[in-house]
Structure 1
Amino acid sequence: MKELVSVIIPIPDPELTPTQEKSLHRCLEALARYPVMFITAEGADLAIVKEHKADADIIYFPKEYFQSRQALAKLFLLDEFYDRFSWTDFLLIHELNSWIVKDELHYWCKQGYDYLKAKPDSSDSKKLPGQVSLILGLNQNEKLNIDKAFENNGLILCNVQRMIKALRKKAKTAYQYRHDEILKHRDAVFWEVEANRIWPTVRKPTEIVRNFFCIALSTKKTSSQYTGRALPFAFTGVSKDNIDDLPIQEVQGRN
């Protein structure tokens, strides 16, 4: 029987920081009822991961994709990557700069969207392109501004078959992005800008809905601003500087 959703946790560096370990522990705790797998470089020793999950399922990819976040983005723009997970309808790609607030994963899989991700950090919104530019196509500087706005934005829920179809339909553009050595988060820029330009290939939510799915923390906003019903499914952009500000006590009190 095909899985509705599986959780994928990329491990570029097996030497996890304390913040990453906390993120991992929270993910395994909050999403315990779903299959959780780890992707990492061939030959990597994930002993520290097995301390958190002894029976961890680990899938290995070539080392070249785990040298940096930019390299990992290249992997996420390959249809062959998603084809490895064709036995599940959805993937939740959970980088360890994210924090699951509450288990709404099943709910979000049933909302009819193909691609969900926190909106880009708009603290400097003047630098983000408008709708006309998004339709006509962006120049490199505009792409760089979006790329920067996706810094540390590491949680994606996607429909596996729709991702494969979109990447094959826009194969030429995806190839160009995979070989763009300037954009650090080229996968995020591709899905934000190119996937639905001219002709939609994936169903994406409005900005309001995106905020209920996941909120990217910035230096100007902290998670303490979001309480009660305003709490999203997850936060991303979590670091050692803001992890202590997460609404952990409130969430635990409601579990």
Structure 2
Amino acid sequence: MKELVSVIVPILDPQINPTEERLLHHCLNTLEKYPVIFIAYEGADLSIVKEHNEDIDVIYFPKKYFQSRAALAGLLLMEDFYDRFSWCDFLLIHELNSWVTRDELYYWCKQGYDYLKAGPTEDDNIKRLGGIISRISGLKDDEKRLFGQAYANNGIYLCRIERMINTIKAKQKEVYQYRHSADFLHADSVFWEIEANRFWPHLRKPTNVVRNHFAMDAANINLNKTLPFALTGISKENIHHLSYFKSLPEAD
């Protein structure tokens, strides 16, 4: 019988900073009842990570995919990546710029969606690029770069493995182009947002309202309303200025 979901934590730079350590520690505590698997390059020194859990599970991929976030995007657009986790139904990709507010992972796996991710940082240009016309006609290279920038530090998503693999197979030409476009950030997010459902709905995605209940940029939340399952957009530069973290006890 398959596992329902596994949590995947990418480690690009093993020398994680104190903010990333805090996010990692919280991830291990909050999602402790699920398998947590780290992905890294062969030979990576994960001693800092092991300080939080000595018995970690690690799956290694070629080092070229861990040179930058843009390089990691190429890995997250490969059929082989998802095949490595075919013993479970869902993956929660949890980069170390995100924070799960409470464990609702089982709930979100059971909602019937194939891909859930916080929306891009929006302005008028991004709304236009993410609109129905762009989804039909596609984006030019400069528009892809702009749209990718709107996913900066947007590092958590839940996906159904089988449907991700099927989409990659159905979009081989497009996914190849995105995987080899190293000149813009977050090619994976742009592909899954714009290309995956062009002409045919390969992935079941939520409405904007629903996905805001799944995840939001931590800078945009309202502490007086119900928090989403996860917050993203967290870094060492902004964590001390975000209202959510100001509201937490020092021990958290």
Task: Give the match for residue 232 of structure 2.
Answer: 236
How far the C-alpha of 1:142 sits from its partner, in A, is 1.6
- Greater Cα offset, 135-144 or 168-177: 135-144
Retained in 1: the 8 A contact 2:40–2:66? yes
Conserved 8 A contact 1:82-1:164 = yes
Moved more, 182-191 or 242-251: 242-251
Q: Which residue of 1 aligns with 2:9?
A: 9
Tell me, in whole angstroms, the C-alpha distance in 2 between the residues paired with 1:38 and 1:197.
Answer: 32
Give the TM-score, by structure 1 length.
0.92
1:10–1:95: 8 Å Cα contact kept in structure 2?
yes
**Structure 2 counterpart of 1:86:** 86
Q: Say if 1:77 and 1:167, in contact at 8 Å, map to a contact too.
A: yes
CA distance 1:246–1:52, change in 2 (3 Å): farther
Q: Retained in 2: the 8 A contact 1:6–1:92? A: yes
In structure 2, how many angstroms separate the alpha carbons of the residues matched to 1:52 and 1:160? 28
2:153 match: 152
The CA distance in 2 between the partners of 1:213 and 1:86, in whole Å, is 24
Shift of 1:246: 5.0
- Quick check: 1:247 aligned with 2:244? yes
Cα distance in structure 1, aligned partners of 2:228 and 2:248: 11
Q: Where in structure 1 do 4 or more consecutive aligned residues deviate above 6 Å? A: 249-252
CA-based RMSD of the aligned residues comes to 1.5
3-state SS of 1:190 partner: helix
Structure 1: distance between partners of 2:210 and 2:126: 23
The answer on 1:110 being equivalent to 2:110 is: yes
> Would you say the 8 A contact 1:101–1:251 is kept in 2?
no
Distance, in Å, in 2 between the alignment partners of 1:50 and 1:229 is 36
CA shift, 1:65, in A, is 0.5
Per-residue CA distance 1:110-165 (angstroms, 9 max, x = gap) = 0000000000000x233441321221111112212210101111001000111011
Q: Rate the CA distance shift 1:58–1:169 in 2: closer, same or farther, 3 A.
A: same
Residue in 2 that maps onto 1:30: 30
1:226 aligns with one of 218, 222, 240: 222
Match of 1:125 in 2: 124
Kindly tell me: are residues 35 and 127 of structure 1, through their superposed partners in 2, closer, same or farther at Cα, counting changes over 3 Å? closer
Q: TM-score, with normalisation over the residues of structure 2?
A: 0.93
| Cα distance in 1, alignment partners of residues 19 and 215 from structure 2 | 19
**1:143 and 2:182 equivalent?**
no
Give the Cα separation in 2 of the matches to 1:36 and 1:44. Answer: 18
Count of aligned positions: 246
Distance 1:250 1:88 in 2: 36
Report if aligned partners of 1:102, 1:251 keep a CA contact under 8 Å in 2: no
1:247 match: secondary structure: helix
- Residue 227 of structure 1: how far off its partner (Å): 2.0
Q: Counterpart of 2:143 in structure 1: which amino acid? A: E
Return the letter of the residue paired with 2:234. Answer: V
In structure 2, give the amino acid aligned to 1:23: L
Instruction: Please list, as runs of the form range in 1=range in 2, the aligned pairs for 1:63-102 lying within 5 A after superposition.
Output: 63-102=63-102
